């Protein structure tokens, strides 16, 4: 009797043709998180299965759409940090991707990706700024290995194809790379792609593509993709249009018109006008005889090096952390010196072998410098947004002698002790400026000779109130 009564009730509760009972959003998010953590720990097949389940169980939801995308035969499966030096908001995130790696080969790609940061670290230019980079592995599965070309098409993650060069350099589909980058919580539009079966490489627009795994090729293509540099070799690889003047290549032999004139004027050894660049023997000039990896050399030449350092600083603020919270120049907020002193802390970025300069000033409110820098630059670094979009300008010089030049402790930490006994009651502006001199021990010249946009410097300020006794 009981069973007879219960049966219609069950049928009403779970009619076979009705949609599945709605699950709460948390279940989809938990399943997505589980799939991502499987990929992160190298369990790619398991991750694929979970994405498929996500697509089926949560069709039509945002998570379901992610599952659908990631369970395709060629897809993004997840990501893992290889080297993380800091929060993505103040580092250059380099995302490493494999193209044409099938599921069973993805472990081999992970191994290749693991080796890459060390090549950056051992390069003199990139190694000095190694701690300014994060390296993140994106795990992409491809259904096929091949590179499109000669009438053959393969199903791969990034649409790898043979370019129209004499040697058939490998390239990838930029739109696909950017779609994969957008799967990550944060990125800087910078990817290094290793195509399993391609040859040589190509680079530009934030994407370096390398056929196989040659690390010298990787640094050359990175010079194109990140550094926006031109080729400094003279051999013809393909038909190119007229030479466009760039940071490291020019179509004009006049040293007074050279983009690297400031290096010639400063008499930086080895920098002059050398004919043969941009894939042609005549009509294009490069800055050094054979000293650049954008040509036949092993390292970035001084001209390319300056460009790379400036571009790193277009994404990384020399000031990494500030405590307590800084104030805008026109703010009514302030910190009150409660006890004997107020300690202000700044953490500067730390290149491998040289230190950033950290200078502090204290001004009574009436004498506080009115900065020409946009007010947002006084905010904490994480809230500042990209430096390149803040339109940085050179900071106006402060005539007054700094009240303190701090040497800094380990990890770039600097502090200024605002002692109550040293000041009359009132309101004060404390300004801290951090500058990278970009000059290494033993070098005659700084690495950056011209910094019109003030990229190598940064500033924060606080309002401090000394209360009446």
DSSP string, 216-280: HHHHHHHHHHTT-PPP---S-SS---SPPP-SS-BS---GGG-TTHHHHHTT-TT-S-EEEETTE
CB of 205 to Zn ion, least distance (A): 19
Residues 264-323 that bind Zn ion (CB under 5 A): 292, 294, 301, 304
For Zn ion, the closer of residues 120 and 260 by Cβ is 260
In the bound state with Zn ion, the residue whose beta carbon lies nearer, of 304 and 430, is 304
Q: Which residue's CB is nearer to Zn ion, number 75 or number 293?
A: 293
Compute the least distance from the CB of residue 172 to Zn ion, in Å. 25
Beta bridge partners of 211: 195
Long-range contacts at 328-335 (CB < 8 A, ≥ 24 apart): 328/375, 328/376, 328/378, 328/379, 328/461, 329/368, 329/370, 329/371, 329/375, 329/378, 329/429, 329/461, 330/375, 331/463, 333/463, 334/427, 334/462, 334/463, 334/464, 334/465, 335/462, 335/463, 335/464, 335/465
Which lies closer to Zn ion via its Cβ, residue 65 or residue 280? Answer: 280
Other C-beta atoms lying within 10 Å of the C-beta of residue 256? 8
The distance of closest approach from Cβ of residue 247 to Zn ion in the complex, given in angstroms and rounded to an integer, is: 8
Least distance from C-beta 261 to Zn ion, angstroms? Answer: 15
- Residue 88 or 252 having the CB closest to Zn ion: 252
x-or-dash pattern for Zn ion, window 232-251, by CB under 5 A?
----------------x---
Nearest distance from C-beta of residue 34 to Zn ion, angstroms = 47
Tokens of 32: 């997505």
- Quote the least distance from Cβ 230 to Zn ion, whole Å: 9
How many amino acids of this chain bind Zn ion (CB under 5 A)?
Answer: 5
- 3-state secondary structure at position 174: helix
Binding residues (CB under 5 A) for Zn ion: these are: 248, 292, 294, 301, 304
């Amino acid at each position: 009797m009981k069973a007879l009564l219960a049966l219609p009730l069950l049928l009403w509760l779970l009619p076979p043709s009705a949609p599945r009972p709605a699950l709460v959003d948390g279940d989809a998010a938990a399943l997505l998180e589980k799939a991502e953590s499987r990929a992160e720990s190298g369990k790619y097949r398991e991750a694929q299965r979970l994405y498929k389940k996500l697509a089926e169980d949560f069709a039509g939801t945002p998570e379901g759409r992610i599952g659908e995308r990631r369970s395709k035969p060629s897809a993004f499966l997840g990501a893992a940090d290889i080297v993380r030096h800091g929060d993505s908001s103040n580092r250059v995130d380099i995302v490493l991707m494999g193209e044409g790696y099938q599921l069973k080969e993805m472990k081999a790609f992970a191994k290749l990706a693991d080796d890459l940061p060390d090549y950056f670290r051992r390069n003199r230019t990139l190694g000095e700024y190694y701690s300014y980079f994060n390296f993140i592995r994106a795990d992409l599965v491809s259904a096929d290995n091949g590179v499109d070309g000669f009438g053959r098409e393969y199903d791969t993650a990034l649409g790898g194809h043979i370019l129209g060069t004499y040697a058939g350099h490998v390239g990838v589909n930029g739109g696909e790379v950017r779609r994969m980058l957008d799967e990550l919580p944060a990125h800087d539009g910078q990817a290094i792609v290793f195509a399993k079966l391609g040859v040589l490489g190509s680079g530009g627009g934030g994407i370096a593509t390398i056929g196989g795994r040659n690390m010298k090729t990787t640094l050359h293509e990175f010079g194109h993709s990140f550094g926006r540099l031109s080729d400094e070799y003279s051999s013809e690889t393909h038909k190119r249009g007229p030479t466009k003047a760039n940071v490291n290549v020019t179509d004009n032999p006049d040293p007074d018109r050279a983009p690297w004139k400031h290096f010639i004027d400063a008499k930086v050894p080895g920098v002059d006008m050398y004919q043969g660049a941009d894939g042609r023997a005549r009509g294009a000039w490069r800055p050094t005889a054979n000293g650049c990896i954008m040509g036949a050399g092993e390292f970035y030449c001084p001209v390319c090096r300056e460009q790379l350092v400036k571009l790193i600083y277009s994404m990384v603020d020399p000031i990494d952390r500030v405590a307590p919270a800084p104030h805008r120049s026109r703010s009514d907020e302030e910190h009150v010196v409660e006890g004997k002193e107020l300690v202000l802390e700044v953490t500067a970025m730390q290149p491998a072998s040289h230190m950033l300069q950290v200078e502090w000033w204290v001004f009574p409110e009436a004498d506080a410098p009115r900065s020409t820098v946009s007010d947002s630059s006084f905010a904490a670094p994480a809230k500042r947004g990209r430096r390149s979009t803040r339109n940085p300008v050179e900071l106006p010089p402060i005539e007054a002698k700094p009240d303190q030049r701090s040497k800094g402790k380990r990890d770039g930490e600097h502090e200024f002790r605002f002692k109550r006994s040293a000041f009359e009651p009132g309101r004060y502006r404390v300004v801290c400026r951090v500058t990278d001199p970009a000059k290494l021990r033993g070098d005659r010249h700084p690495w950056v000779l011209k910094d019109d946009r003030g990229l190598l410097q940064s500033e924060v300020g606080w309002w401090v109130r000394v209360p009446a006794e």
